[in-house]
């Protein structure tokens, strides 16, 4: 376009691309208008994706805080910890740090085969089997672990500023005359819808931020030190380790069952078919 600025020759000898750009140069603030239209074109999908992320955050927070099964498991972990630390200064704790959940696999029995996580799963399977599927309550946890709050804040700011630029360009274009009439009409229609959508998005974004902080506080953590991303990552890892330990317990129990069954069959076979005594040979 820079090369065409000083062109005064015959337009017909130019290629279609050059002719197009030559006409485009007649439009006032063409670059600004193109940026505005780019924002308009991407606006729908951008709002949709952003809303989906915010809804995922809100859903994850709600699911965790409303999960009675998760709360019961937390109580049992606290009881287990106090039992193990009985007689020490740590034996009467009223709570524990969230990252302690990931340390349940570090403590092992003397045979080095069973961890505290395995023991927890074994106790739950025996006494509270209804709690074993607590992760079913947390359907949004994995999706929420892929969301970062800082990029969301930056995107919210970009959407707000983008809409402001649209409004500024509309105001400027209203003084362009006939050349920008269609452009102005299109922008007015867009702004009429976009403003309300952005306001709703801001409210949803604010709610998601409050819920993210409330989730950390729910576990007694400081949101500044243990942000949303860390909370959901810890919970997701705990779920995975819990499921793995439970599966390993089930496999071990099945092996022991088969071993016991085999021994029982062997003993039964011996009882039914006792070894015959050899007759004594005459001297």
Angle at which helix 228-272 crosses helix 116-127, to 10 degrees, equals 70
Domain boundaries, the chain: 31-65+141-226
Q: Which of the 8 DSSP states describes residue 115?
A: B
Compute the distance between CA of residue 185 and CA of residue 180 in angstroms, rounded to an integer.
9
Q: Give tens-digit pLDDT for 149-193.
A: 999 999 999 999 999 999 999 999 888 888 788 889 999 999 999
Read off the tokens for 82.
């106090």
Residue 89 three-state SS: coil
Compute the distance between CA of residue 257 and CA of residue 41 in angstroms, rounded to an integer.
63
Q: Give tens-digit pLDDT for 80-138.
A: 888 887 767 666 788 899 999 999 998 887 666 789 999 999 999 999 999 999 999 99
**3.40.50.300, 1.10.3210.10, 1.10.10.10, 1.20.58.2220: CATH of 31-65+141-226:** 1.20.58.2220
Compute the distance between CA of residue 62 and CA of residue 105 in angstroms, rounded to an integer.
27
pTM metric for this prediction:
0.83
């Amino acid at each position: 376009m820079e090369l065409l600025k000083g062109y005064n020759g015959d337009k017909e000898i130019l290629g279609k691309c050059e002719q197009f750009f030559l006409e485009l140069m007649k439009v006032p603030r063409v670059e600004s208008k193109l940026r505005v239209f780019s924002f308009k074109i991407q606006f729908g999908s951008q709002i949709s994706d952003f809303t989906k992320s915010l809804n995922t955050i809100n859903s994850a927070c709600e699911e965790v805080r409303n999960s009675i099964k998760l709360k019961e498991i937390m109580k049992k972990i606290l009881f287990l910890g106090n039992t193990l630390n009985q007689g020490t200064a740590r034996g009467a704790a009223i709570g524990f740090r969230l990252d302690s959940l990931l340390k349940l696999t570090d403590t092992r029995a003397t045979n080095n085969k069973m961890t505290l996580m395995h023991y927890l799963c074994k106790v739950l399977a025996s006494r509270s089997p209804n709690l074993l599927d607590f992760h079913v309550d947390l359907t949004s946890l994995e999706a929420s672990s892929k969301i970062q709050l800082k990029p969301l804040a930056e995107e919210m700011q970009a959407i707000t500023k983008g809409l402001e630029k649209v409004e500024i360009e509309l105001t400027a274009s209203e003084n362009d005359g006939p050349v920008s009439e269609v452009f102005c009409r299109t922008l007015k229609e867009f702004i009429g819808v976009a403003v309300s959508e952005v306001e709703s998005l801001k409210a949803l974004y604010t709610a998601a931020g409050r819920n993210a902080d409330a989730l950390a506080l729910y576990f007694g953590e400081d949101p500044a030190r243990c942000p949303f991303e860390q909370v959901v990552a810890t919970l997701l890892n705990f779920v995975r380790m819990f499921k793995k330990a439970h599966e390993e317990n089930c496999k071990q129990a099945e092996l022991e069952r088969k071993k016991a069954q085999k021994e029982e069959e062997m003993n039964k076979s011996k009882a039914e078919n006792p070894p015959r005594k050899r007759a004594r040979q005459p001297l």
